[in-house]
């Protein structure tokens, strides 16, 4: 492999990420309540081959081993999430001491290994009991989430400083409540979907307030959305303008602006409101003031981008993917420039420092006869994307960190265990872990602060 100098700023954070439901298992142990994903996995045909998160990576019992592996990888930070129903089984009311104690031990273990925990409060595992009370359709959900956030913050904030309120509201609202391909599997009308989305934004505001009011160490607060990014098909100024217009335009819930404009500007985007018309959510007095909480960083989950070019008859045009274009096992197109144009366009619009909170790929990995996992494609993918990230930093965009998705193979939602995103291979029958070649390579990247070397 060609040697490439990719050194990053001296204060840059290198990490990897996971989510509670995807790795913990122990779905019914130690007083944990059920989540909508526990319910969803038991509905025939919902998840690939009937897979469930009941055991997943058994991280709940194997967390010490997993931390040792993360330390071997050289991780500086670990983005983790907390399971709401593990901490508060019914979603509100009585706290589960054993569930809270798990995260207490986990944080202590990470810090003892020299790994900084970055905590996401919600990564899709909504309490089933609260779903029966209307879930995100219930306006009280914002207060429910705020109360849960306070429990976690009061327990962990003497050691945790980096917090994220929500992960990818686009996915758990659009795919969970509109298309029904994710938990809870509903197919609601547009007004109901947008109402739930509004309540999610209120929950974000409540949680941000709670973090700042109750954290015992000065907190660094952000969130981790996703959305569709446009990247210019060429370096021509006209194509750049068109890609920017595509990224900023509000077409649907997959547009960054529907979620981010309320948080940073205090209102929904005008083009989005025109799109939804009388199906827009009801905004109560004071809602936007609650939603518009100051953010210390804008987390971005980025995997690819749409290629955009200028046209004489429209603001932009999507360039069709050429036959045979590289793609991941998930059939996502590989577009490294997403890690340049995504942070650039979002920073131009919102003026908030960026953290790449997810980036990676699913590939066809298995343990070789020699006992190793040779995932050369993951190394090549990550080097290409990091090259673009370094370029945008050099151009003045303040990107503060990078979290690879994911630290280990895990339950990939409706895809079950079909997709492997991890730098640690997990044998789901034996729970044996194996560091992939990419994990050893990533350690060198981190140690050299991005001066990528031969694997």
Is residue 145 predicted with pLDDT exceeding 80? yes
Provide the CATH number for the domain around residue 28: 3.20.20.80
- Which of 168, 178, 249, 412 is catalytic? The answer is 168
CA distance 23 to 359: 18
Active site residue 24: no
pLDDT, tens digit, for every residue of 348-368? 999 999 999 999 999 999 999
Q: What's this model's pTM, rounded to 2 decimal places?
A: 0.97
Give the number of residues written for the chain. 455
Residue 246 lies in a domain: yes
Active site residue 358: yes
Band of the pLDDT at 454, cuts 50, 70, 90? low
Residue 452 lies in a domain: no
pLDDT computed for residue 1 by the predictor? 41
- Which of 24, 178, 249, 358 is catalytic? The answer is 358
What average pLDDT does the structure give for the chain?
96
pLDDT computed for residue 321 by the predictor? 86
pLDDT, tens digit, for every residue of 52-62? 999 999 999 99
Residue 4 lies in a domain: no
Mean pLDDT of 31-50: 98
Residue 3 lies in a domain: no
pLDDT, tens digit, for every residue of 187-215? 999 999 999 999 999 999 999 999 999 99
Residue 35 lies in a domain: yes
- Structural domain for 373, as ranges: 13-447
Q: How many domains does the chain have?
A: 1
pLDDT computed for residue 5 by the predictor? 59
**Which of these, 209, 210, 240, lies nearest to 150 by C-alpha position?**
210
Rg (CA), the chain: 21
pLDDT, tens digit, for every residue of 266-286? 999 999 999 999 999 999 999
Residue 353 lies in a domain: yes
pLDDT computed for residue 452 by the predictor? 66
């Amino acid at each position: 492999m060609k040697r490439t100098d990719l050194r990053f700023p001296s204060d840059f954070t290198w990490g990897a990420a996971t989510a509670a439901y995807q790795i913990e298992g122990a779905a019914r142990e130690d007083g944990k309540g059920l989540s909508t994903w526990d319910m969803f996995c038991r509905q025939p045909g919902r998840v690939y081959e009937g897979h469930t998160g009941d055991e997943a990576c058994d991280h709940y019992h194997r967390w010490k081993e997993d931390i040792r592996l993360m330390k071997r990888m050289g991780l500086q930070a670990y983005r983790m999430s907390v399971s709401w129903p593990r901490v508060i089984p019914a979603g509100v009311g009585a706290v589960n001491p054993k569930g809270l104690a798990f995260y207490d031990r986990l944080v202590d273990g990470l810090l003892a290994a020299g790994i900084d925990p970055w905590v996401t409060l919600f990564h899709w595992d909504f309490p089933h009991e609260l779903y029966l009370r209307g879930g995100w359709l219930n306006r009280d959900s914002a207060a429910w989430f705020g109360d849960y956030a306070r429990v976690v913050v009061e327990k962990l904030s003497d050691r945790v400083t980096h917090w994220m309120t929500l992960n990818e509201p686009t996915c758990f609202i659009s795919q969970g409540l509109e298309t029904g391909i994710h938990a809870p599997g509903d197919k609601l009308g547009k007004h109901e979907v947008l109402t739930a989305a509004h309540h999610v934004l209120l929950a974000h505001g409540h949680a941000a307030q709670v973090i700042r009011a109750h954290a015992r160490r000065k907190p660094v607060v952000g969130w981790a959305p996703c959305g569709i990014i446009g990247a210019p098909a060429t370096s021509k100024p006209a194509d750049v303008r068109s890609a920017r217009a595509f990224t900023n335009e509000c077409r649907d819930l997959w547009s960054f602006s529907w979620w981010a404009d309320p948080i940073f500007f205090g209102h929904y985007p005008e083009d989005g409101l025109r799109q939804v018309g009388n199906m827009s959510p009801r905004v109560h007095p004071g809602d936007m003031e609650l939603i518009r909480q100051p953010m210390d960083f804008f987390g971005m989950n980025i995997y690819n981008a749409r290629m955009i070019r200028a046209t004489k008859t429209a603001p932009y045009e999507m360039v069709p993917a050429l036959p045979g274009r590289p793609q991941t096992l998930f059939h996502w197109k590989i577009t490294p420039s997403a890690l340049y144009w995504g942070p650039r366009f979002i920073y131009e619009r919102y003026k908030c420092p960026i953290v790449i909170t997810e980036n990676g790929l699913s590939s066809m990995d298995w343990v070789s006869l020699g006992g190793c996992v040779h995932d050369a494609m993951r190394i090549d993918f990550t080097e290409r994307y990091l090259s673009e990230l370094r370029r945008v930093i050099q151009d003045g965009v303040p990107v503060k960190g990078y979290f690879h998705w994911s630290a280990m193979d895990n339950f990939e939602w409706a895809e079950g265990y079909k997709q492997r995103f991890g730098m640690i291979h997990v044998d789901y029958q034996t729970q044996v872990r194996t560091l992939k070649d990419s994990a050893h390579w990533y350690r060198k990247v981190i140690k050299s602060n991005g001066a990528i070397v031969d694997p």
